Amino acid sequence: MTTTASEADRAAAHFRFFTMEVLRTRRLGHSFLRVTFGGESLADFRSGGFDQSLSLFLPVGDAEHAELPSTDEDTWFGAWRAMPDEERPVMRSYTVRDQRRTDAGVDEVDIDFVLHGDASPASRWAGRAVTGRRIAAIGPAVAQNKSVRFQPPAGTGTFLMYADETALPAAAAILDRLPAGTAVKAWFEVPHADDRLTLHTAADADITWIVREKGTARADRVVEAVRATELPAADAPYAWLAGEAGTVRAVRRHLVQERSVDRRAVRFTGYWRLGATEEQLLAEAYAGQAPNEDPTSAL
């Protein structure tokens, strides 16, 4: 299919650059830190909710703020990629946990970070986030945008969910928005017992927490937990799976092959991959080698 110039313009118009300023932080559990951002530009921020994502530009080294050579929608990516490695801000995707306008008229955006020391640029930045620190981001300027992957068919009443700690903020945001009477069976995998967060939802949600013993994703253990569970009765459940790529694929394979869930009704996303750095995954994405997320793709 050929994309016209007007279609490309409309797609670009869905997103724009924002400058966000840290207002406050709050520790949620052993591994989670919520950073609340503000800033005048957020008046134009339009989250589509559910698993809405945005891209953050993290400063390198000890820099306080990432400086981008261009924020023009047509040239920023090439200019960013052309920067020397030691100067190029690190781009990472994160979930918009919540967006709101306060009674004082201040626009706020919450992002939940997984903390694991200085092992990643995002964890390093979040662990040092203080009030007033700024960060650049590309985020949604319209609520209906392609960065919301949770797209169940109209009328779906039963949902299956799997998330590890990297996808738990997205799963929690989805649960926030599901209406009463919705049946949900979810498996959430976290590295520590006190990462089992209190999640609020009007849905009828049955959540199984899987606590890892050694901090690494264990696909077999997760699949066994899913296999041991009686699923809600439903003619056409919708499954949303996100987290470590190998585990996500294993859970998807089980649901489709052993539980006869229609593969077209399974939305799966690998947020990271065991044994691969984030830079390697980004390089694969730029080269068009990223794992297929299309729910109609073959196993």
264-283 pLDDT, tens digit per residue, is 999 999 999 886 666 666 66
Please tell me whether residues 125 and 169 are part of one structural domain: no
Question: Which domain range does residue 51 map to?
Answer: 7-140
pLDDT value, residue 206: 97
Rounded Cα distance between 99 and 111, Å, is: 9
At residue 93, does pLDDT exceed 50?
yes
Q: What sign does the dihedral 108-113-117-120 (CA atoms) show?
A: negative
Rounded Cα distance between 159 and 137, Å, is: 31
Answer whether residue 45 is part of any domain.
yes
Return the number of other C-beta atoms located less than 10 Å from residue 135's C-beta.
24
Return the structure tokens found at 71.
């924020």
Please tell me whether residues 174 and 270 are part of one structural domain: yes
pLDDT value, residue 61: 79
Across residues 147-165, what is the average pLDDT? 96
Mean pLDDT of the chain: 89
Q: What is the CA radius of gyration of the chain?
A: 19
Please tell me whether residues 173 and 112 are part of one structural domain: no
pLDDT value, residue 7: 44
pLDDT value, residue 235: 83
Of the listed ranges 140-144, 191-195, 219-223, 233-237, the one predicted with least confidence: 233-237
CATH of the domain at 253: 3.40.50.80
Answer whether residue 153 is part of any domain.
no
At residue 297, does pLDDT exceed 60?
no
At residue 31, does pLDDT exceed 60?
yes
Answer whether residue 171 is part of any domain.
yes
pLDDT value, residue 218: 79
